[in-house]
Structure 1
Amino acid sequence: MEKIVSALADSARWRILELLAERPRSVGELAELTGLRQPQTSKHLQTLANAGLVTVFPLGQRRVYAMEPAPLIEIGARLRLLIEAAQANSGERDVVARYQAAIEADAAKADRDRWADGRSFLFERTLQAPRDLVWRHFTDAALLASWWAPPSLTVSECVLEPRPGGRAVLEYRDAEGRYRSEGRVHAADEPKRLVFDLSVLDGAGTISFTGHYHIELKEAEGGTALGLRLHISETTAEALPYIAGIETGWRQVLDNLTQAVNAAMRA
C-alpha cells in the first residue's frame, strides 16, 4: 500500500494514470501528452509498474502501457472506510473545535488571577432510571469512575463520599500526564441532593481553580431529572484551558452517565 500511495503522490504520475485510464498508450505518446521528456516518462512508468498500477506490453519496438485498476479499487475501498469512520465520528472533531474556540474567547480575560470567579454553569438531563440508581452512579466509586471522564482520559482515582466532610477526589490520566482534583462534600441527602467542592490542582499541588457543585435529583415521568449547578472561584490565569473546557467536558461526561445508567437498566 505504501508503494501505491507514494506513486500516486506525484502529479506527473497522476496525469499519466488519467491518460492510461482512457486507453493503453506508448511511452512516446505519454511523453507528448504530458510535456515530459521520454526518459522522465519512462522513470514515472517504472515507478507505477513497481506499485502494480500499470502493466507494460512489449509490442515489437514499441512498449505500450495499460492501467491496472485493481490496486486503485483496493485503495478506494480503504479510503471509503476511512471517510465513513471520520464522518461517523465528526462530532469528536466538533468538540475539539468548540474547545479551541472557548479558549480563544477567554484568552484576553485570563491575564490575572480571579478572572473567572463567579462564573456559573447549569447542566440538566432527564435519565430513564430511578433516583436511587442515579444516586449510586454518583456515590459508588466504581460506578462513578465508569462515566466521569471525557474521551481520551482514564480515571485513576475517583471518590465522592456521600456525607458532610466526606472526601471528594477525582484524578485522570492520559498519555501526557496526570490531572488531579480534591475537595470535600458539604451536604448529602440521599437520593435527592449532593453538594461538594473540587479544587483542580496543578503539577505542584497548587489550586488552579475550585468548582462548587450542587446536584439535585428529582423524580420525573419515566425517570429522574438531573440538575447540576456549578460555579467557580479561586481562578488563576493558568486555569484557562480547564475553565474553557467545562461546558464541553461536562456535556460529554453527562453523555457517559446517560449511557452508563441505560446499561445498568438493561442489565
Structure 2
Amino acid sequence: MDAILAALADPARWRLVSLLAERPRSVGVLAQLAEARQPQTTKHLQTLERAGIVISQRTGQRRIYALRPAPLQDLAAVLNQLAGTADRIGGPGATFDRYGLSLEAERLAAAESGWADGRSFRFQRSLTADAELVWRHLTEADLLAQWWSPDDLRVSELVFEPRPGGRILLEYRDAEDADGSDLVAGRAEGVVDDARVSERLSYWLSPVLPDGSVAFTAHVDLGLRATDTGTDLDIHWRLTDSTVDSADFIAGIEIGFGQSLDKLAATLAATQTRTSK
C-alpha cells in the first residue's frame, strides 16, 4: 500500500494513471497527452509498474501500458474504511467537530475579563453503586484517576484531600503520551470547601494557564442521593474569575466533564459486575 500511495502522490504520475484509465496507450502517446518529455514519461511509468499499478507489453517498436484496476480498488476500500471510521456517529471525530463549534462561540464571547462569570453547568447521573462506593471514587486519588479525565486524556498527577481546606492538584496528559514527553494538556489547582461522607462534596478548581495565571475558577458542588438501584449524582458548576484566555477551557467543560462522568458510570458498573461474581 505504501508503494501505491508513493507512486500516486506525484501529479505527473496521477495524470498518467488518469489517461490509462480511459484505455491502454503507448509511451509516446502518453507523453504527448501529458505534455511531457518521453524520457520523463518512461521513468514515471516504470515507477507505476514497480508499484503494480500498471502493466506493459511490447508491440513491435512500441511499449503499451495499461492500468491494473485491482490495486486502485484495494486502495479505495482502505480509504473508505478509514473515512467510515473517522465519520462514525458519536465517535472522536464528531466530538472534535462539536468542540470546534463550542470553541468558536466561546472565543467570540470572550471580549473582556469576567465575560463568563455566573455561567453554570449541570450534570446528573444515575449510578449503579451505593453511595459509599461512589464517594470513594469521588475522593480517593487512585480511584479518581481512573475516570477524572476526558476520553482523549489521562490523569498524570493527582492530589485530592477530601476535607475542608484540603488541597487539589490535577494534571492531564494525552492518553497516548506514554512516556510524558509531550506537552502537559492541562493543569488545575483547587481547595475542598465541604466534604460530608456519602452526601455532599464541594470544592473550587482553577485551570492554570501556561504563564501560571488562573484561567477561571469553577465552584463545583456534588450531591449524592441513595436510591433503590444505586446512587443519583447531581453536580453543579458555577464559574467566576473568568479571563479572556479561559475561552478554550470553558468550551470543553460540557463535553469533557460529561465524558468523565460517563467513564465513572462505566467504572462503577464494571466494579459491581466483578464483585457480584
Cα contact 1:210–1:232 (8 A) shared by 2: yes
Cα contact 1:186–1:195 (8 A) shared by 2: yes
**TM-score, reference length from structure 2:** 0.82
1:259 corresponds in structure 2 to: 266
Cα contact 2:20–2:65 (8 A) shared by 1: no
Q: Give the superposed CA RMSD.
A: 2.6
Q: Give the gaps of 5 or more residues in structure 1.
A: none
Deviations 1:168-216 (A, max 9, x none): 2212234223532222212222212111111222234332211111111
Q: Distance in 1 between matches of 2:63 and 2:223?
A: 79
Deviations 1:134-169 (A, max 9, x none): 221111111101111113322122233322222222
Tell whether 2:246 aligns with 1:235: no
2:120 corresponds in structure 1 to: 120
1:196 corresponds in structure 2 to: 203
Cα contact 1:124–1:228 (8 A) shared by 2: yes
1:177 partner SS:
coil
2:86 corresponds in structure 1 to: 86
Q: Give the gaps of 5 or more residues in structure 2.
A: 175-181
2:186 corresponds in structure 1 to: 179
Q: Distance in 2 between matches of 1:178 and 1:128?
A: 31
Report % sequence identity: 43
Matched residue pairs, number? 263
Cα contact 2:216–2:243 (8 A) shared by 1: yes
1:55 corresponds in structure 2 to: 55
* One-letter identity of the residue aligned with 1:186: D
Q: 1:178 to 1:44 in 2, by over 3 A?
A: closer
Cα contact 1:27–1:38 (8 A) shared by 2: no
Q: 1:164 to 1:89 in 2, by over 3 A?
A: same
* One-letter identity of the residue aligned with 1:142: D
* One-letter identity of the residue aligned with 1:131: A
Q: Distance in 1 between matches of 2:80 and 2:266?
A: 29
Q: 1:178 to 1:80 in 2, by over 3 A?
A: closer
Q: Distance in 2 between matches of 1:187 and 1:197?
A: 10
2:168 corresponds in structure 1 to: 168
Q: 1:8 to 1:89 in 2, by over 3 A?
A: farther
**TM-score, reference length from structure 1:** 0.85
Q: Distance in 1 between matches of 2:267 and 2:190?
A: 25
- Match of residue 14, structure 1, among 12, 17, 20: 17
Q: Distance in 2 between matches of 1:188 and 1:30?
A: 78
